[in-house]
């Protein structure tokens, strides 16, 4: 495509300003009855157990409540922090199967780092991994599945105060919320078809199970599976199997026990299978002058959508992920509530990373690697939260205290074999000949028949305690939030090859979260927040006199810091028009970054510089309006920021995308006979490029189209056309023959039956 232009971004800014102005005028036209209705609804919510959030009955793309702000049920507009919510309607419309499908359009400031894993960049900082119900989860070599996910929440900025545990991501986190059980019998069966023999099925069944007196129980059962071919020989077929469910036990109106579990298996190979044109030595215009080897990442002409560095039988991922969680919550009195939580998860990840690594200077010979790897991750996680709500002389106090404990046991072993140590021979990509690979893979070598070259076992534990106070003044016009969390980490690691054992630091650290929110109107709030990430205990020393003499001071602790202010709005302008969203300005940093710098007399060595930083503006605007004989739902996002690394303030952080805009919109026909509830829509994303290693990955544009038609009141058919530009867009590169691309155009047809 042509060089990305940003007229869309300018229009989004103007639209945000215009709608905020309309809000200010429109408020004076809102009837008292509407405000009273909203207040009555809020009062009803406050009577509920604050640790329980029921599934929202939303129309369109709007979501108004979350537990991600401070583990209790809160309205988004009342939280002095930036949280984006992507509901099930977005997931359904996009026929999404993983987190990257929905984050492309649903929330500002988030971009994709890799295709494998839940690997995203939030405001310029990498977040590798995700959360489920607010608890950190590993995803192995595959993204967490969406079979039983009702919605996803993006918590932006350091979130250690909220999440507890070893939450080291500075940019933020993505939190999956699974379906709740239901007292209303509901069943949904969805089947999706695509090219290359692709098929996917997702079944969700829920309803009441038993009721006697004050006791009742509800259930949910989720089954899913996927099977399909891929374009590249190395990828072969991919296969998924999912089985999960939930059970809710209600002991009267105040006590609930929720049990959730699932098993997810993945077998396939979706990895780094493309390669670059290394004859390109051009320097990017207007790029940082000190990076003198920064070439533009362009796919090699031989890197077609079917070109493959190996065969399917020589590679593969086998991932089994299981999880069980129990959540107990009860109201101790009219003012106080208690929550207890326990979770266990296990991932068995066995991989054969057969891959290209670099291209030779002739631009057609690929050097390759063979990396057998086996990882086992086990996690036990516990939480306890106590909240007491009271009012003194018109001042409302929500006082919280609690503790978390996370225990991780990891086992990892792997081997690296490449052309430099007797690995697979280089491959001529002009006419790939895999005949010699049979002899290579028939050998008994480390990782296949012999012990791996590397084997490690580790155990880490983090125990945290926290206190937090929410103070509401002047009839909730001003909300003050303050909290502290203390971390007590410990760890040990055993090298199973050498027998060497090492022990990690047990130093106690502290983080904070401070915020103030002012309700300018019941539907409009302004906020400021100062949040800090868990400090990371650094090991090792700086170079005091010359490079590598290791006589300097010990490394200082690191901390992620976010200072942010913004506006939030959620307003029903009339019975036909609702607008909602947020505008935020942020400045974030990771302090005391380990890098190389001047030690004096022109000598460079290991130092800790001030910080990696990012700053900028972001905006999310949602509209739901009656238009003609139907309803228009739209979410537009805008992000414009800058970043620099600690080593050189002229260099942007790796993976940082300075500009990204998107629109997700649909039109639903209402009261139109056979077209009733039929829908057409599109998603559009445009972004600038990013720095990856010694290359600049250009920006891109992506357009998705989708439509749905109801054959009967229970049966619907949906068509999704993803990436209609049919461009193989580079997502990331780690080396000249280690590149990931977005799939070219994919067509998906989904049949959904609800009963």
Q: Is residue 628 part of a domain?
A: yes
Closest CA to 133 of 258, 45, 44, 225: 258
pLDDT > 70: what percent of the chain?
86
The confidence score (pLDDT) of residue 295 equals: 76
| Beta strands 74-75 and 125-128, pairing class | unpaired
Q: Is residue 1 part of a domain?
A: no
Q: Is residue 562 part of a domain?
A: yes
Domain that holds residue 231: 7-754
Q: How many CB atoms lie within 10 A of CB 443?
A: 11
* Residue labelled with tokens 């090298």: 495
The confidence score (pLDDT) of residue 189 equals: 97
Instruction: Check which CATH number belongs to the domain holding 566 and give it.
Output: 2.40.170.20
CB neighbour class for 13 (10 Å; exposed up to 12, middle 13-18, buried from 19): middle
Residue 558: its H or E element: none
Which structure tokens are listed for 535? 């400090």
Q: Is 99 helix (H, G, I), strand (E, B) or coil?
A: helix
Q: What DSSP designation does 546 have?
A: S
Strand boundaries in 628-694, DSSP class E: 630-644, 659-669, 679-687, 690-692
Q: Is residue 2 part of a domain?
A: no
Q: Is residue 487 part of a domain?
A: yes
Q: Is residue 134 part of a domain?
A: yes
User: Distance (Å, rounded) from C-alpha 34 to C-alpha 633?
Assistant: 22
pLDDT < 50 stretches in the chain: 1-47, 282-292
The confidence score (pLDDT) of residue 647 equals: 75
Which structure tokens are listed for 485? 């969390």
Q: Is residue 112 part of a domain?
A: yes
Q: Which strands make up the sheet holding 135-137, listed edge to edge?
A: 83-86, 149-156, 172-178, 130-132, 135-137
User: Distance (Å, rounded) from C-alpha 289 to C-alpha 296?
Assistant: 14
Which structure tokens are listed for 590? 């990771």
Residue 407, CA distances (Å) to 385, 391, 501 in order = 18, 38, 18
Q: Is 20 helix (H, G, I), strand (E, B) or coil?
A: helix
CB neighbour class for 670 (10 Å; exposed up to 12, middle 13-18, buried from 19): middle
Which structure tokens are listed for 603? 């000598």
Residue 473, phi then psi, degrees to nearest 5: -120, 155
CB neighbour class for 563 (10 Å; exposed up to 12, middle 13-18, buried from 19): middle
Q: How many CB atoms lie within 10 A of CB 689?
A: 22
Q: What DSSP designation does 272 have?
A: -
Q: Are 391 and 397 in contact (CB under 8 A)?
A: yes
Q: How many CB atoms lie within 10 A of CB 691?
A: 23
The confidence score (pLDDT) of residue 54 equals: 55
Q: Is residue 585 part of a domain?
A: yes
* Residue labelled with tokens 């490690």: 456
The confidence score (pLDDT) of residue 231 equals: 92
- b/e string for 639-655 if b means 16 or more Cβ within 10 A? bbbebbbbbeeebbbbb
Instruction: Using the Cα atoms of residue 590, residue 594, residue 596 and residue 597 in order, give the sign of their dihedral.
Output: positive
Query: What's the structural domain count of the chain?
Result: 1
Which structure tokens are listed for 659? 């500009």
**CA torsion, points 126, 127, 129, 130, in degrees to nearest 10?**
-160
The confidence score (pLDDT) of residue 51 equals: 65
pTM over 0.75: yes
User: Distance (Å, rounded) from C-alpha 681 to C-alpha 155?
Assistant: 27
Distance of CA 9 to the CA centre of its chain: 23
The confidence score (pLDDT) of residue 301 equals: 95
The Cα diameter of the chain in Å comes to 83
Residue 528, CA distances (Å) to 233, 479, 485, 518 in order = 52, 11, 20, 9
3-state secondary structure 477-506: CEEEEEEEEEEEEEEEEEECCCCCEEECCC
User: Distance (Å, rounded) from C-alpha 236 to C-alpha 316?
Assistant: 9
């Amino acid at each position: 495509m042509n060089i990305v232009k940003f007229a869309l971004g300018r229009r989004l800014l103007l639209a945000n300003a215009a709608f905020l102005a309309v809000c200010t005028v429109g408020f004076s036209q809102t009837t008292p009855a509407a405000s009273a209705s909203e207040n009555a609804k809020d009062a009803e919510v406050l009577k509920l157990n604050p640790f329980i959030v029921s599934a929202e009955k939303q129309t369109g793309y709007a979501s108004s409540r979350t537990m991600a702000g401070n583990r209790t049920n809160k309205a988004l507009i009342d939280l002095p922090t930036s949280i984006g919510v992507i509901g099930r309607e977005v997931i359904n419309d996009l026929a999404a199967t993983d987190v990257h499908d929905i984050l492309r359009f649903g929330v500002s400031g988030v971009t994709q780092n890799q295709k494998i894993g839940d690997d995203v960049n939030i405001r310029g900082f990498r977040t590798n991994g995700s959360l489920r119900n607010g608890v950190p989860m590993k995803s192995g070599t595959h993204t967490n599945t969406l079979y039983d996910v009702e919605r996803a929440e993006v918590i932006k900025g350091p979130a250690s105060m909220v999440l507890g545990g070893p939450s080291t991501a500075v940019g933020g986190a993505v939190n999956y919320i699974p379906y709740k059980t239901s007292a209303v019998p509901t069943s949904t069966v969805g089947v999706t078809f695509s090219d290359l023999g692709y098929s996917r099925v997702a079944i969700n069944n829920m309803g009441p199970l038993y009721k006697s007196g004050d006791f009742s129980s509800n259930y949910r059962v989720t089954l899913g599976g996927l099977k399909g071919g891929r374009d590249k020989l190395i990828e072969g077929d991919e296969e998924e199997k999912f089985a999960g469910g939930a059970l809710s036990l209600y002991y009267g109106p105040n006590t609930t026990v929720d049990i959730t579990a699932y098993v997810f298996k993945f077998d396939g190979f979706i990895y780094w299978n493309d390669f670059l044109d290394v004859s390109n030595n051009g320097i990017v215009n207007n790029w940082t002058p000190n990076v003198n080897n920064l070439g533009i990442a362009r796919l090699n002409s031989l890197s077609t959508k079917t070109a493959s560095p190996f065969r399917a039988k020589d590679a593969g991922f086998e991932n089994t992920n299981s999880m069980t969680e129990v959540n107990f919550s009860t109201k101790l009195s009219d003012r106080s509530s208690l929550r207890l939580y326990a979770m266990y998860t296990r991932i068995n990840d066995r991989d054969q990373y057969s891959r290209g690594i670099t291209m030779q200077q002739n631009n057609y010979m690929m050097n390759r690697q063979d990396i057998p790897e086996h990882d086992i991750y086990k996690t036990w996680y516990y939480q306890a939260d106590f909240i007491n709500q009271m009012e003194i002389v018109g001042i409302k106090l929500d006082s919280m205290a609690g503790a978390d404990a996370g225990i991780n046991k990891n086992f990892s072993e792997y081997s690296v074999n490449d052309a430099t140590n007797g690995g697979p021979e280089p491959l001529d990509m002009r006419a790939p000949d895999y005949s010699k690979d049979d002899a290579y893979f028939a050998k008994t070598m480390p990782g296949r028949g012999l012990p791996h070259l590397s084997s490690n076992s580790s155990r880490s534990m983090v125990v945290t305690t926290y206190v937090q106070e929410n103070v509401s003044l002047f009839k909730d016009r001003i909300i003050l939030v303050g909290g502290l969390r203390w971390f007590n980490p410990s760890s040990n690691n055993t090298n199973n090859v050498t027998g060497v054992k090492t022990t990690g630091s047990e130093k106690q650290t502290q983080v904070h979260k401070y915020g103030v929110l002012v309700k300018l109107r019941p539907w409009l709030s302004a906020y400021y927040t100062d949040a800090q990430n868990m400090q990371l205990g650094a090991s090792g020393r700086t170079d005091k006199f010359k490079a590598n003499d290791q006589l300097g001071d010990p490394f200082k602790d690191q901390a992620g810091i976010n200072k942010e202010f913004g506006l939030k709005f959620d307003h029903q302008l009339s019975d036909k028009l609702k607008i909602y969203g947020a505008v935020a300005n942020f400045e974030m940093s990771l302090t005391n970054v380990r890098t190389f710098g001047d030690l004096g007399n022109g000598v460079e060595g290991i130092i800790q510089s001030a910080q990696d930083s990012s700053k900028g503006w972001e905006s999310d605007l949602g509209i739901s309006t009656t238009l003609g004989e139907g309803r228009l739902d739209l979410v537009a996002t805008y992000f414009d920021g800058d970043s620099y690394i600690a080593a050189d303030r002229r260099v942007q952080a790796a993976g940082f995308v300075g500009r990204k805009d998107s629109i997700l919109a649909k039109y639903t026909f209402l009261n139109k006979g056979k077209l009733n509830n039929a829908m057409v829509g599109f998603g559009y994303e445009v972004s600038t490029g990013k720095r990856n290693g010694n290359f600049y990955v250009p920006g891109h544009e992506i357009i998705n189209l989708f439509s749905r038609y109801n054959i009967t009141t229970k049966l619907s058919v949906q068509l999704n056309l993803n990436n209609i530009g049919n461009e193989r867009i580079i997502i990331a590169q780690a080396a000249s023959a280690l590149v990931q691309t977005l799939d070219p155009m994919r067509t998906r047809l989904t049949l959904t039956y609800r009963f």
